[in-house]
Amino acid sequence: MSTAVFPGTFDPITNGHIDIAQRAAALFDHLVVAVYAHPIKTLLFTPDERLKLAQEVFKDWPNVTVETYDGLTVDMARKKGAKAIIRGLRVVGDFEFEFQMALMNRTLAPEVESVCLLTTKEYYFLSSSIVKEVAKLNGNISELVPPHVVTALDEKIRELGEEAEDRIKIITMRD
Ligand code: ADP
């Protein structure tokens, strides 16, 4: 059985992520959507919230499971018996970052291949950061994320009030 892992922060999961997961799930027998619990960046949602939002998306997908992880992605991939790490490519800036990451991952685990899938044109400019920013400004994000994520974003932004601002700053397109 061929397994791949799709690691990311998923803060929160967007239709861009879902598109990549859907296409990866068609290429491998089993896809593990792996939510990186504690990246070095300020996030809006807790690891458990990000996990649950993603689990809701994939609950009826027969060959996709969702879990959180910490530590090196290659270690998690090895533990899962994965032969590939899936990443998505949008703008040119993504390429540089993913290239560097893939080379490092190959150095650490030569048996795990990095597979980059190109974004679908509708999602070219879609990132979790831009979704959070638009949600904070009360813009319509219903085309960009599933309905339960729209609700979760509304609730979280309301709950955090002023603090939400600091937790959703756009730093780069990559976030
Ligand atoms: P990370 O912090 O690991 O980059 P993200 O949740 O931001 O986590 O993204 C996870 C993966 O999904 C990355 O490979 C990213 O390039 C990809 N991705 C995010 N949004 C899109 C999109 N709109 N189209 C294609 N790939 C995307």
Domain that holds residue 143: 128-174
Annotated active-site positions, please? Answer: 17, 41, 90, 128
Span 100-127, pLDDT tens digits: 999 999 999 999 999 999 999 999 999 9
The C-alpha angle with vertex 77 and arms to 74 and 80, in degrees rounded to 5, equals 155
Residue-level pLDDT at 174: 53
DSSP per-residue codes, the chain: --EEEEEE--TT--HHHHHHHHHHHHHSSEEEEEEESS-SS--SS-HHHHHHHHHHHHTT-TTEEEEEE-S-HHHHHHHTT-SEEEEEE-SHHHHHHHHHHHHHHHHH-TTSEEEEEEPPGGGTT--HHHHHHHHHTT---TTTS-HHHHHHHHHHHHHHTTHHHHHS----TT-
Look at residue 164 in the predicted model and tell me its pLDDT.
82
Write out pLDDT tens, residues 59-69. Answer: 999 999 999 99
Q: Residue 74 pLDDT > 70, yes or no? A: yes
- Same-domain status, 109 and 133: no
**pLDDT score of 140 more than 50:** yes
60, 100: one domain? yes
Tell me the per-residue pLDDT of 80-95, one tens digit each, with 9 for 90 and over: 999 999 999 998 778 9
Atom of ligand 1 nearest to the CA of 10: 6
Which atom of ligand 1 is nearest to 129's Cα?
7
User: What does the pLDDT read at residue 144?
Assistant: 97
Q: Residue 168 has what pLDDT?
A: 79
104 shares its domain with 19: yes
One domain, residues 165 and 87:
no
CA 28/CA 63 separation, integer angstroms: 9
Question: What distance in Å separates the CA atoms of residue 114 and residue 69, rounded to the nearest whole number?
Answer: 18
The pLDDT value recorded for residue 39 is 82
How confident is the model over 1-11, as pLDDT tens digits?
Answer: 999 999 999 99
Average pLDDT over every residue of 37-64 = 94
Q: Distance between CA 46 and CA 22 in Å, rounded?
A: 24
User: Does one domain contain both 73 and 116?
Assistant: yes
* Cβ 127 under 6 angstroms from ligand 1: yes
Pair (88, 148) in one structural domain:
no
Quote the ligand 1 centre to 94 CA distance (angstroms): 9
CATH number at residue 102: 3.40.50.620
Ligand 1 atom nearest 14 alpha carbon: 20
Pocket lining: 105 vs ligand 1, CB cutoff 6 Å:
no
Q: Are residues 157 and 116 in the same domain?
A: no
Domain co-membership, 91 together with 30? yes
pLDDT of residue 171: 53
Mean pLDDT across the chain: 93
Q: Which of 123, 148, 165 is the last residue of a domain?
A: 123
Nearest by Cα to 33 from 57, 49, 15, 60: 57
pLDDT beyond 50 at 154: yes
Phi and psi at 168, nearest 5°, equal -130, 20
Q: How far is the CA of 60 from the centre of ligand 1 (A)?
A: 22
Ligand 1 centroid to residue 36 C-alpha, Å: 12
Residues 103, 28 share a domain: yes
Domain count, the chain: 2
Report the C-alpha gap between 114 and 111 in whole angstroms.
10
